[in-house]
Structure 1
């Protein structure tokens, strides 16, 4: 039997040839592939997770909640840090490389023209169907109207907070961006949302009303509920996941609980065990680096959450490492971080990425108008860690904040892949 992809490496080579950042709007290719591979819809429940900040965390909470109730889960997230296998997880474990070639052969045969993200989306669904997944959780890549995950039938939709991001593609205003994301509401499947800015709330309400979809907005979970992910903003993401789980629980033989009910033991376990790398992830010092706080904050909304968390910790950072992509509106987030840091150094490593902003230009922009420049460019992440480690702060446990882009974190995790997996012991959120 002829195989298009005899090995995992050849699957990755095909994906790379399609272009990591290449996009082609429209759902026609996805619809063709899904129609050929799934003439009958697989017997699994599917949740689509959308928004701007917190999609991955919300998906992680929902996955953990379902697994704590004994369900077989499939989790599809993006981007990855080191390997595409991170994007497709079965019961929390990345899909093994050995499983990829046969699945990729089927996906390619169904539609050879799929883009990078479309190909992975279809491959994930095929893997979930073949492995008996009961609940599939799909994180949208960008927007909603044309996102590949929107071609998949959804039994529920989750909306994390919507903010300004990808304005060049989705539109210049929050209303434009929210309208694109709200366009994923395509039938009467229930919608659960985080609290939203007025323009985003209005877009969701209009789309839900047009399709007679029940829409609910959650309140943050109380501080007494332990969470596996740190930061006050995670109380909103966890609340969205919990409300979504409760709306689906009867389909899996579990009791329907009201939104105000306290978490059951299984729900509490799921919330406390949720893990996703690179979201306010604290790492102790070791021989290779000082104490670290990793976060993907790259826009003002995300940076405000990071700053809030720093204030709650009550520890002054020894420095921050910030880098970003050139096509992002990164300066407002950088200014927020600088304001919080004061005279604390800001190191800007050069990312090895075709979309990376020039580190010297970022440092110069951050220093503009300041009486005392604090930002300086460094060659790469390794140089940034070395420079940070050479600093001697007043407190030995003062962390280095590493933030600004998930692609910055990807370069860090390529050096320290062990931090991509959940630690053996739980590290719940510090009390709010």
Structure 2
């Protein structure tokens, strides 16, 4: 198979299947070896966890860029195009670069999974571009995640919570045990505040592997604005800053407080308590990809901290999530505001709006809880509750699965990009 256009690469990825997994790191290590990437020409940090991985990765990459380093950022999933996953100095890899890189990956390792293929392609792109520093967000877990096959100089753990239990295990300790296996002997690891079970597992694995573990809960954070909103982002920013300080010290990079503050303020990651102003008939919106209990707890705190009372809430999620633990958070966030529940389109894992709305309606009394067929219809109904021209228009909160937010960004692609550095 030869790739000639970006669409050819996209077709290949689609054929591999977004949700197909094949555990093990041998394929990925063989691919990196064939591509000459087992001794990469850049410094790498890996970001593992349940919530806050993308935000922490973005903070760290922005801090590095603010210090003048050429920086690669690898995140997942994407909303509209896989190009979002691979960025160099904040810019998506151009379509023209994809076929050549994809051909080299295919020649080196034709049997990679969707995520492995993209990971190898991204690392190859970073090497070809001559970046100084790469931030790699793990996809799922840590033990067998494709990013764990890559040599790194730091591993950082964002808050670990209950998610992907069918794959990682039924308890928090099981999930933390899997993620902790991303640690490497002698490589410094950094952790945000964790639940007691998760922290105990991280400490145990760090001791077993001989990886120094640095806890960041009490570290100072500059008194500066953050580009990502919500009180939970201070946890992510503190973690990113701790990793940056160690990397700068180790590699003799400049480490200037004003540059770090500029990087923290410039961070943008779509769908993380993202505020969008009213536009035409569309009311002001807040977008947040909280799709598990831990994420929804953070979203609830952010809503309370900001003093926002949503005019309406739009929520949906995937059927393989532990929905029962999410319901109380969604009900409290919505309060007495109307709650619209669309069915996520073109996703075999989607939960039907009718089924989810019936569960959410319990205990809401007379408050409206309404299933709708599509997100576009939910937006239309929510907009009617916040009339155009009303100076006091309350925002509509759109939250839940990242795939639901992906539908929004397909409808409104201009909301996806925001470059501040």
Compared with structure 1, are the counterparts of its residues 223 and 289 closer, same or farther at alpha carbon in structure 2 (3 Å cutoff)? farther
> Which residue in 1 is equivalent to 2:155?
157
Flag structure 1 segments of 5+ consecutive residues without an equivalent: 257-262, 427-432
Find out whether 1:345 has 2:344 as its counterpart: no
Alpha-carbon separation, structure 1, partners of 2:37 and 2:242? 31
Q: How far off its partner does 1:219 sit?
A: 2.4
> Which residue in 1 is equivalent to 2:260?
267
Q: How far off its partner does 1:340 sit?
A: 3.2
On the 8 A contact 1:5/1:104 being kept in 2, the answer is yes
Alpha-carbon separation, structure 2, partners of 1:57 and 1:339? 24
Q: Could you tell me which of 353, 358, 365 is aligned with 1:364?
A: 358
On the 8 A contact 2:67/2:254 being kept in 1, the answer is no
> Which residue in 1 is equivalent to 2:247?
248
Aligned pairs (5 A) from 1:119-158:
119-158=117-156
- State the SS of the aligned residue for 1:285: coil
Q: How far off its partner does 1:372 sit?
A: 2.6
Alpha-carbon separation, structure 1, partners of 2:273 and 2:48? 20
Q: Deviation string for 1:133-185 (max 9, x for gaps)?
A: 11011100000001000000111001100000000000000000000000111
Alpha-carbon separation, structure 1, partners of 2:11 and 2:150? 26
- State the SS of the aligned residue for 1:298: coil
Q: Deviation string for 1:71-90 (max 9, x for gaps)?
A: 00000000000010000000
On the 8 A contact 2:49/2:179 being kept in 1, the answer is yes
Find out whether 1:278 has 2:271 as its counterpart: yes
* TM-score (normalizing by structure 1): 0.93
Q: How far off its partner does 1:367 sit?
A: 1.2
Alpha-carbon separation, structure 2, partners of 1:39 and 1:423? 29
Compared with structure 1, are the counterparts of its residues 99 and 132 closer, same or farther at alpha carbon in structure 2 (3 Å cutoff)? same
Find out whether 1:320 has 2:313 as its counterpart: yes
> Which residue in 2 is equivalent to 1:44?
42
> Which residue in 1 is equivalent to 2:395?
399
> Which residue in 2 is equivalent to 1:227?
226
Alpha-carbon separation, structure 1, partners of 2:78 and 2:312? 26
- State the SS of the aligned residue for 1:246: helix
Alpha-carbon separation, structure 2, partners of 1:97 and 1:361? 40
On the 8 A contact 2:296/2:330 being kept in 1, the answer is yes
Q: How far off its partner does 1:224 sit?
A: 2.9
- State the SS of the aligned residue for 1:337: helix
Find out whether 1:303 has 2:296 as its counterpart: yes
Compared with structure 1, are the counterparts of its residues 354 and 273 closer, same or farther at alpha carbon in structure 2 (3 Å cutoff)? same
Q: How far off its partner does 1:288 sit?
A: 4.5
Q: How far off its partner does 1:337 sit?
A: 1.9
- State the SS of the aligned residue for 1:327: coil
> Which residue in 1 is equivalent to 2:106?
108
> Which residue in 1 is equivalent to 2:16?
18
Alpha-carbon separation, structure 1, partners of 2:386 and 2:232? 31
Compared with structure 1, are the counterparts of its residues 289 and 77 closer, same or farther at alpha carbon in structure 2 (3 Å cutoff)? same
On the 8 A contact 2:343/2:353 being kept in 1, the answer is yes
Find out whether 1:195 has 2:189 as its counterpart: no
Alpha-carbon separation, structure 2, partners of 1:288 and 1:410? 21
Q: How far off its partner does 1:350 sit?
A: 1.3
Aligned pairs (5 A) from 1:83-102:
83-102=81-100
Alpha-carbon separation, structure 2, partners of 1:300 and 1:11? 35
Alpha-carbon separation, structure 2, partners of 1:39 and 1:235? 34
Alpha-carbon separation, structure 1, partners of 2:90 and 2:365? 49
Q: Deviation string for 1:280-319 (max 9, x for gaps)?
A: 0001111141110000011111111111111122121101
Find out whether 1:5 has 2:3 as its counterpart: yes
Aligned pairs (5 A) from 1:400-419:
400-419=396-415
Q: How far off its partner does 1:213 sit?
A: 1.3
- State the SS of the aligned residue for 2:318: coil
RMSD: 1.7
Flag structure 2 segments of 5+ consecutive residues without an equivalent: none
Alpha-carbon separation, structure 2, partners of 1:309 and 1:39? 40
More displaced stretch, 160-169 vs 331-340: 331-340
Alpha-carbon separation, structure 1, partners of 2:108 and 2:222? 48
Find out whether 1:355 has 2:349 as its counterpart: yes
On the 8 A contact 1:331/1:366 being kept in 2, the answer is no
> Which residue in 2 is equivalent to 1:59?
57
On the 8 A contact 2:153/2:188 being kept in 1, the answer is yes
Alpha-carbon separation, structure 2, partners of 1:153 and 1:163? 26
Q: Could you tell me which of 170, 173, 178 is aligned with 1:172?
A: 170
Q: How far off its partner does 1:254 sit?
A: 3.0
Q: How far off its partner does 1:202 sit?
A: 0.8
Compared with structure 1, are the counterparts of its residues 146 and 97 closer, same or farther at alpha carbon in structure 2 (3 Å cutoff)? same
Q: How far off its partner does 1:214 sit?
A: 1.3
- State the SS of the aligned residue for 1:188: coil
More displaced stretch, 338-347 vs 77-86: 338-347
